[in-house]
Structure 1
Amino acid sequence: MQPSTPPNTRPGGTADFLQGTSLLTRFKNFYRMATGSMSPQGQLAYWHDVDLRYEALDCRRCESQRDYLLQYSPIIRYLSTNIAQLGGTLDSTNIRCRRCEPHERMEGGFDPRYGIKLCANVLEGRKKVEDTLAHEMVHAWDHLKWKVNWEADGGDLRGVACTEIRASSLSGECRWTNEFFGNKILKFTNQHQNCVRRRAVQSVKSRPQCKSDLDAVKAVNEVWDSCFRDTRPFDEIYR
């Protein structure tokens, strides 16, 4: 039996991630990543290594931004007050900055048992943290108000679709400047609605109880009119 061909790790070919902590090894990995000669598996390993090395720094930065927003951001303070009025508490003890894995493809998350997770290695800049935190706080308000069923088995996909619509609409993540400068989408008509619908469908698709892309689109469409119009606890779309 002939021995298997060893993987091509030359910079000119498809290169895998090289294990090691020396400056030379890290430079080689950076060069291969920057020139596009690293395999998809190697790219995942590269970013995983970067996230591990900067985890403590990323989390400290995220926590500093979180604390600032809890004290000074109008939208975060307003949501905090309204969550408290429903008997909930969100503060630095249950809004946690953590490293998220690349395959999770998330910026943050809400769990009614544990609170909010902010992906410290993904969120860059205070505005991004503010949008993500506001998004998850809308989920928290909705859960306290309507007891959304988030469970993977038997979860209410329409209820999840509704809170995703509201969170994307009310958090500020779909404002025109974000779409133009962040996603390079230049539209003046129905820009906000299109962004909210797109992000809501993406979020519903990621839920374990969603069986297909068509199910996600269907769930969003079925609740769109009532949920998009519902701006509570705001009087109108704030940002």
Structure 2
Amino acid sequence: MAKEPTSGTGSKSFSSNDNGFRTIERCHDMIQRSLRLPMVEFLREHLEKSGCYVGNNFIKAVNCEQKIAGGYLRGRGIIVCSNHMTFQDEVNQVVIHELIHAYDDCRAKNLDWKNCAHHACSEECIKRRVMQSLKCNPNCSGAAAKDAMDAVWDICYNDTKPFDRAP
């Protein structure tokens, strides 16, 4: 997992900053739009069915110091890094991706985000993206990240829960 980003404030009078990225307020609006997507509704429903409440404040827009798009923080929810978002589709993809992490964390009560194999297994992406995500985890060096991904790939790649098949 990435280090927790710092939250900041944005200007309500502008929709983006000087770099073209979204303010916290604009990103919050984009998150609200993403909550209406069928895939997001599906994931939230399955989180609740698994016993994990997803309230209105579960997904937050923040400014992030690290160069990450967002993250899932156990017990705190999902953050979307407004200062790294430009388009609605980027926000949609981050929300979906992090909801899958939240679902995995909910159903696997012993998931240890410091364990590179556990982290790798929660990634729903192709190997290149798994490696990118693991590199953000300070507990996973280059060799440990690759070893962890290789060790769990076959089992985890075929785990499509909560979906019946790979979306």
Q: The TM-score by the shorter chain falls in which range?
A: 0.7 to 0.9
* Aligned residues of 2:47 and 2:53 also touching (Cα < 8 A): yes
Say whether 1:207 aligns with 2:137: yes
1:226 counterpart = 2:145: no
Match of 1:81 in 2: 45
Residue 149 of structure 1 aligns with which residue? Answer: 112
Higher relative contact order structure (alpha carbons within 8 Å, sequence separation ≥ 6): 2
Question: How far off is 1:55 after superposition?
Answer: 5.7
Identify if the C-alpha distance between structure 1 residues 92 and 53 changes in structure 2 by more than 3 Å, giving closer, same or farther.
closer
TM-score, length basis structure 2:
0.83
The RMSD of aligned alpha carbons is 1.7
Letter of the structure 2 residue corresponding to residue 127 of structure 1: D
Q: Between Structure 1 and Structure 2, whose CA radius of gyration is higher?
A: 1
Note the C-alpha offset of 1:54: 5.3
Runs of 4+ with >3 A deviation: 52-57
Structure 1 unaligned spans of 5+: 1-51, 169-195
Counterpart of 1:198 in structure 2 is 128
Q: Please state whether the residue corresponding to 1:118 is helix, strand or coil.
A: strand
Given candidates 87, 91, 96, the residue that maps to 2:60 is: 96
**Could you say what secondary structure the match of 1:76 adopts?**
helix
TM-fit CA distance, 1:142: 0.2
Q: Is 1:235 matched with 2:149?
A: no
Structure ranking higher in helix proportion: 1
Pick the aligned partner of 2:121 from 151, 162, 174: 162
Structure 1 equivalent of residue 24 of structure 2: 59
In 2 relative to 1, CA 223–55 (structure 1 residues): closer, same or farther, beyond 3 Å?
A: farther
Deviations 1:180-237 (A, max 9, x none): xxxxxxxxxxxxxxxx101101211221211x21111110011001111111101112
CA distance in 2, matches of 1:90, 1:132: 16
Alignment equivalent of 1:117, drawn from 79, 82, 107 = 79
Aligned residues: 150
Letter in 1 for 2:132: Q
Q: In structure 1, what residue type is equivalent to 2:139?
A: Q
- CA distance in 1 between partners of 2:53 and 2:86 (Å): 26
Change (3 A) 1:131 1:215: same
